[in-house]
Amino acid sequence: DARVTQTPRHKVTEMGQEVTMRCQPILGHNTVFWYRQTMMQGLELLAYFRNRAPLDDSGMPKDRFSAEMPDATLATLKIQPSEPRDSAVYFCASGPGRTNGETQYFGPGTRLLVL
């Protein structure tokens, strides 16, 4: 049963610290998405990649957030420095990349709390 995995599942940190979240997409999937879920904003797209190249990161605060795919099996989302307003659940999703509007498969999320 192929799944998207995310680590860590929970993270508590202090303001100003660097946070790194990792995602392993489903093997063979070549699109990867990062979403953020908050009570106020709901689910919003931060960035997405196809074949490891960033296609859209317009939803991401550029000054502190960065997203990369070092290889096809790993996507990372970094926040440096973190701020309390970054507290949210961060979801990674992957898709096969064969068609437009394809189904995205979500990981369990990383619940981040910045104190």
Partner 1 sequence: AQSVTQPDIHITVSEGASLELRCNYSYGATPYLFWYVQSPGQGLQLLLKYFSGDTLVQGIKGFEAEFKRSQSSFNLRKPSVHWSDAAEYFCAVVFNQAGTALIFGKGTTLSVSS
- Between 82 and 104, name the residue whose CB sits nearer to partner 1: 104
Write the CA distances from 3 to 35, 41, 47, 112, integer angstroms: 17, 26, 20, 21
- Rounded CA-CA distance 92/90 in Å is 7
Rounded least distance, CB 42 to partner 1, Å: 5
From the list 22, 24, 74, 108, which residue makes contact with partner 1 (rule: CB under 8 A)? 108
The answer to whether 48 contacts partner 1 (rule: CB under 8 A) is yes
- Please give the structure tokens belonging to residue 72: 């096809």
The answer to whether 57 contacts partner 1 (rule: CB under 8 A) is no
- Please give the structure tokens belonging to residue 115: 């104190």
Rounded least distance, CB 105 to partner 1, Å: 8
Residue 37, burial from CB neighbour count under 10 angstroms (0-12, 13-18, 19+): middle
The answer to whether 52 contacts partner 1 (rule: CB under 8 A) is no
- Between 16 and 28, name the residue whose CB sits nearer to partner 1: 28
Rounded least distance, CB 79 to partner 1, Å: 20
Phi, psi of 67 (to 5 degrees): -130, 140
Binding site for partner 1 (CB under 8 A): 4, 31, 33, 35, 42-45, 48, 56, 91, 93, 95, 97, 100-109
